[in-house]
Amino acid sequence: MLRGIDLTIGRAEFTALIGPSGSGKSTLLNLIGLLDRPSAGHVLLGGRRTRDLTDDDLTRLRGEELGFIFQFHHLIPSLTAVENVMLPLALRRGRIHDKDREEARRVLRAVGLEGRGRARPRELSGGQQQRVAVARALIGKPSLVLADEPTGNLDTESSQEVFSLFRTLHRAHDTAFLLVTHDEALANACDRALVLVDGRIVEDRLRHASPR
């Protein structure tokens, strides 16, 4: 249960959310991501109050403003990398346009997977699969990316590569990132670190933003 949370994630902020298991990190992420509704209080996205929106309106707003990355990439095994990346657009629009396929290829190039668009998940390494998941989260040009233990299932080298990719994309597009992690070193590399304990934010550590 969350208690007395008063939190603002600013435009283009690069923030870590840390805390012990059971502290409420995933619950907070689900609320910010409009996946759950708060039992009290309000969640505002881009200044818009979301509490009274219909489920359809929440789904539309989530698709327009948010990107999601998880510890397990949740790629569809039968689809190619390009097709996996296009999924959010297909779900939002109900169909795929030729320009969507080209945009998926462009985003794959941005995450270092040029030439791998036809590969299926089983043909990619763990780090490459996570890069496809990153591309999928970014294709809708979200203002905020929510990442739940995005490097937790990767080895050290792949984790560093994915984190560096986040940083590059953050600087290039002014996309805000909120990363849930147990990795203190990763949290220390972010511009801001929120510490959540027993449902409360007990520390808000702000560092100097990295140069752009």
CATH number for the domain spanning 61: value is 3.40.50.300
Strand partners, 204: 194
Mean pLDDT of 155-170: 82
pLDDT, residue 209, reads 54
Whether residue 177 contacts residue 14, with contact meaning beta carbons closer than 8 Å, is answered with yes
Under the banding of pLDDT at 50, 70 and 90, the label for residue 41 is confident
Window from 84-98, 102-116, 176-190, 195-209 with minimum mean pLDDT: 84-98
Summarize pLDDT for 81-101 with one digit per residue, the tens.
999 999 888 777 766 777 888
pLDDT, residue 74, reads 82
Q: Which residues have a Cβ under 8 Å from the Cβ of 7 and sit 6 or more positions away?
A: 28, 194, 201
Mean pLDDT of 21-48: 89
Q: What is the domain extent for residue 73? A: 14-206
Residue 110 lies in a domain: yes
Residue 3 lies in a domain: no
Residue 192 has pLDDT above 80, yes or no: yes
Strand partners, 112: none
Residue 212 lies in a domain: no
Give the residue, 156 or 202, on which the prediction is more confident.
202
Global confidence as pTM: 0.86
- State how many domains the chain has: 1
Residue 6 lies in a domain: no
In Å, what is the CA distance from 122 to each residue of 65, 75, 82, 136? 30, 10, 14, 17
Minimal CA–CA distance to 69: which of 50, 54, 51, 84?
A: 84
Residue 80 lies in a domain: yes
Whether residue 20 contacts residue 197, with contact meaning beta carbons closer than 8 Å, is answered with yes
Place of tokens 């910010």: 32
Mean pLDDT of 159-170: 84
Q: What is the mean pLDDT of the chain?
A: 87
Residue 112 lies in a domain: yes
Residue 211 has pLDDT above 80, yes or no: no
CA dihedral 76, 82, 87, 92 (to 10 degrees): 180
Whether residue 132 contacts residue 124, with contact meaning beta carbons closer than 8 Å, is answered with yes
Residue 89 lies in a domain: yes
Residue 54 lies in a domain: yes
